[in-house]
Structure 1
Amino acid sequence: MFNDIGALEVLALVILAVLVFGPDKLPKVIQDVSRFVRRIRDFSESAKQDIRSELGPEFKDFEFEDLNPKTFIRKQLEQNDDFKELKELRSSFDLKKEINEVADAVNGTEPEATVAAGTAGGSSTTPDLLKKRDTPETGERPPFDADAT
C-alpha cells in the first residue's frame, strides 16, 4: 500500500505527528490507530469467510485477488495449454527487427542483413520503388503534383 514512501517521508510524518499530537498523547494515538487497523482487517477477513461460506463448497478455493482482471487472465492463461504456444509465438516474433525492416524500406536503404552479406555491384536485382527518380524514363509521363498547380 505504501511502497513508495521513503525514509525521509516517514521521518517527516513522525515529526509532524509529534508536533500535532505532542509527545504525551502520541503513544495513545498510535495505539488507537493500530487498534482501528486491526479491527478493519478482522472485519474484512470475516466478510471474506462469510462470502466463501455462502458461495458453497465448490468455491472453497476462491481467492478475492482473482477478481482483479489482470490476475484472473494471467491465472487462466497459465492453466491453458495454448499459453505455451503463445509464448513460443511471442518469442519467435522480433519486433525490433520488423521495425528496422520497415524503417529501411521507408528510408530506401537496404536491410542490415543484405548490407552485411554484400550485394553484387552495389545494387539489388529488384527495383526499389520507394526511391525517388530524378528524371522519368523515356516515354513516361512525370508524376502529377496537385500542390504544384
Structure 2
Amino acid sequence: MSMSEIIGLVILAIIVFGPEKLPELARKAARILAYLRRVGNDARGQLRKELGPEYDDIRLSDLNPKNLVARHLLSTEEVSDLRQIRDEAMAEGRIMKDALDEAAGVPDGGTAFSATVSAQDSPIVRFDPEAT
C-alpha cells in the first residue's frame, strides 16, 4: 500500500468512526493483529516440532512445489541455464511473430497474425474438474 492509500484510509476511518472511537478501535486492531501473529508462530513452531530436527531448515515457502524444486533439486548453474533457454525461446518467438506479421503486410507493432484467428477457428477447450 502506498502512503496516499494509507492517508485516505485514515481520513475515511476518522469520518466513519469519529475521532473519539478511533483510538479504541486501533487498540482492538492491534490486539487482533498480535493474536493472529501469535497463532501463526505457534502453528509454525508446532509444524517444525512435528517434522523433527531434520527439517529445521525448511521454510514455509518450500511447501510450494516450484520453490522446493528450485531450491533442492536444481543448482544455481542449472537455474541460470533454464532462464537463458527461456529467454532465448521468447526471443525466437518474437522474431517468428514479427516475421509472420511482416509476411501478412502489417506494419511494425501490428497484430494481424493474432487477429486473423477468429473465435470460430480456435478449438473449445473444456475443463472437467473430476478428470484431474
Pick the TM interval, shorter chain.
0.5 to 0.7
Asked which structure has the greater CA Rg, the reply is 1
* Secondary structure of 2:21's aligned partner: helix
Deviation at 1:48, TM superposition (A): 0.2
- Show structure 1 runs of 5+ residues with no match: 109-149
- Alpha-carbon distance in 2 for matches of 1:58, 1:21: 51
The residue correspondences of 1:119-130 to structure 2 (distance < 5 A) are none
Partner of 2:59: 63
The residue correspondences of 1:1-149 to structure 2 (distance < 5 A) are 3=1, 5=2, 7=4, 9-76=5-72, 78-79=74-75, 81-93=77-89, 94-95=91-92, 96-104=94-102, 106-107=103-104
CA contact (8 A) 1:77 1:83 kept: no
Structure-2 change in CA distance of 1:77 and 1:102 (3 Å): farther
- Alpha-carbon distance in 2 for matches of 1:92, 1:12: 45
Taking structure 2 as the reference length, the TM-score comes to 0.59
Which amino acid in 1 is paired with 2:99?
E
Aligned identity (percent) is 31
- Alpha-carbon distance in 1 for matches of 2:15, 2:86: 56
The number of residue pairs the alignment matches comes to 103
- Alpha-carbon distance in 1 for matches of 2:75, 2:47: 25
Which amino acid in 2 is paired with 1:68?
N
- Alpha-carbon distance in 1 for matches of 2:71, 2:83: 15
- Alpha-carbon distance in 2 for matches of 1:73, 1:49: 24
- Alpha-carbon distance in 2 for matches of 1:97, 1:56: 52
Deviation at 1:62, TM superposition (A): 1.2
- Alpha-carbon distance in 1 for matches of 2:9, 2:84: 49
Which amino acid in 2 is paired with 1:101?
A
- Show structure 2 runs of 5+ residues with no match: 106-132
* Secondary structure of 2:23's aligned partner: helix
| Alignment root-mean-square deviation, CA | 2.8
- Alpha-carbon distance in 2 for matches of 1:72, 1:64: 10
Deviations 1:84-106 (A, max 9, x none): 432343344432223233444x4
Higher relative contact order (CA 8 A, sep 6+): 1
